[in-house]
Structure 1
Amino acid sequence: MMLIEETAPAAEALPVAALREHLRLGSGFGVAEEAAETAALGGYLRAAIATIEGRTGKVLLTRRFRMQLDDWRDRLGQPLPLAPVISIEGIEIEDGAGIVTALPQDSWRLLPDSQRPMILPTGVILPHVPRRGLLNVRFTAGFGADWASVPADLAQAVLMLAARYYEDRSFEGSKGAMPFGVSALIERWRQVRILGGRGRREAR
Structure 2
Amino acid sequence: MRMIVDRTPLSTTLPVDPELVKLHIRLEEPAEYPEIETLIRTATAELEQAAQIALLHQTIRVNVIAPEDGRYLRLPIGPVRERPTVRLEGSGFTDFGFMPGVRSLICWGNAFHARRPDHVEIEYRAGFGGTMAHVPHDLAQAVMDQAGLLYQMRSAWTEKPWRHTSPHLSRIAARYRGVAV
User: TM-score when scaled to structure 2?
Assistant: 0.81
Question: Which amino acid in 1 is paired with 2:31?
Answer: A
Secondary structure of the 1:164 match is helix
Unaligned runs of 5+ in 2: none
* Equivalent of 1:151 in 117, 136, 145: 136
Aligned twin of 2:146: 161
**Stretch deviating more after TM superposition (75-84 or 63-72):** 75-84
Instruction: Name the CA distance, whole Å, in 2 between partners of 1:70 and 1:12.
Output: 33
Q: CA RMSD in A?
A: 2.6
Instruction: Report if aligned partners of 1:88, 1:137 keep a CA contact under 8 Å in 2.
Output: no
Q: Which amino acid aligns with 1:126?
A: F
Change (3 A) 1:46 1:74: farther
Equivalent AA in structure 2 for residue 149 of structure 1: H
The residue type paired with residue 48 of structure 2 is: E
Please show how residues 97-116 of structure 1 align to structure 2 within 5 Å: 100-103=90-93, 105=94, 107-114=95-102, 116=103
Q: Distance in 1 between the 2:27 and 2:104 partners?
A: 42
In structure 1, stretches of 5+ residues that fail to align are: 95-99, 194-204
- 2:31 counterpart residue number: 32
Q: TM-score, normalised by structure 1?
A: 0.73
**Equivalent in the alignment of 2:112:** 126
**One-letter identity of the residue aligned with 2:178:** Q
| Aligned twin of 1:90 | 85
- Which one of 38, 61, 73 corresponds to residue 43 of structure 1? 38
Q: Deviations for 1:85-141, whole angstroms, at most 9, x for unmatched residues?
A: 1224411123xxxxx2111x3x22311243x311113x43525244xx421100111
Following the alignment from structure 2 to structure 1, what is the Cα–Cα distance between the partners of residues 123 and 44?
21
* Equivalent position amino acid for 1:6 in 2: T
One of 18, 21, 29 as aligned partner of 2:20: 18
Cα pair 1:88 1:138 within 8 Å, conserved: no
Q: Is the 8 A contact 1:91 1:136 kept in 2?
A: yes
Does the C-alpha gap of structure 1 residues 74 and 49 become closer, same or farther in structure 2, counting only changes over 3 Å? farther
Which of 101, 107, 126 is the equivalent residue of 1:141?
Answer: 126
Is 2:76 the counterpart of 1:77?
Answer: no
